[in-house]
Structure 1
């Protein structure tokens, strides 16, 4: 086999594996299957998780649930949805707490814990890997 053919096959296999890993780790925003909300925009999700909005678009109260501090999933979520690094998020919440303008979302230990809490509370919203989604929750946004 020629070296160029072997290199081409190796590149194709690598790209395929990278694509499969990216899809398996896809980040999604979820609500309870009993929540009437079917879709949310990134700005709406950001407002909820930054404490700027305490309600879903239909007016129902919302409770945001976060992943554990300093986890890759949480860092990716805030970077992609709110365009903020962990350091910026820490500064943001320090200021909001100090000025009495809010408290950060409650933290849970894993995607499974977030999914379970969201499934049990129609007013909750969280984010998990797509692999953690089951029929008890509904995906309302794919994080890109």
Structure 2
């Protein structure tokens, strides 16, 4: 009985270790990406605190008064995980928890989820005040790149 428990612990430890090692590799393997905005957004740079407030759904308008529309990839998308961790310094589940609190309390809305890079580009390009993120290879002249300082 004790041997089975120890074997189970070793197997569990090995699994968790390999998942953490491979998980880190996948996050780093994500292609380079940028924060993008609709072409009508006049902001060219943004402090990291403002970016966190926007994607935390706490900042609702751009300085010119235009409503901010936030677009994100699904929680399990590698690009979403990389963006959340690298740009916002939070895990995707922490963002989801914050959005769920807003929705369930009736005090806010979650961002709109898009399911492909093409949809992200199309939505941000066609929605005034929109913000999202996209790999550099998918970008075109329809969106602006927002520098984060």
Q: Give aligned pairs, total.
A: 122
Normalising by structure 2, what TM-score? 0.72
Partner deviation per Cα, 1:37-80 (whole Å, 9 max, x = no partner): 22222221211111100011332211001112210111111112
Mark the runs of 5 or more structure 1 residues left unpaired by the alignment. Answer: 1-20
Tell me the equivalent position of 2:103: 97
Deviation at 1:139, TM superposition (A): 0.2
Out of 90, 112, 120, which is 2:126 matched to? 120
Deviation at 1:103, TM superposition (A): 1.6
Tell me the equivalent position of 1:109: 115
Out of 127, 139, 142, which is 1:136 matched to? 142
Cα 1:87/1:69, change in 2 over 3 Å: closer
Deviation at 1:124, TM superposition (A): 0.8
Tell me the equivalent position of 2:48: 42
Structure 2 residue 81 is the aligned partner of structure 1 residue 75: yes
Distance 1:89 1:62 in 2: 17
Moved over 3 A (4+): none
Q: Note if contact 1:29-1:125 (Cα within 8 Å) is conserved in structure 2.
A: yes
> Is the partner of 1:36 in helix, strand or coil?
coil
> Is the partner of 1:59 in helix, strand or coil?
coil
Mark the runs of 5 or more structure 2 residues left unpaired by the alignment. Answer: 1-27
Output the aligned Cα RMSD.
Answer: 2.1
Q: Note if contact 1:27-1:142 (Cα within 8 Å) is conserved in structure 2.
A: no
Distance 1:122 1:96 in 2: 23
Q: Note if contact 2:100-2:110 (Cα within 8 Å) is conserved in structure 1.
A: no
Normalising by structure 1, what TM-score? 0.74
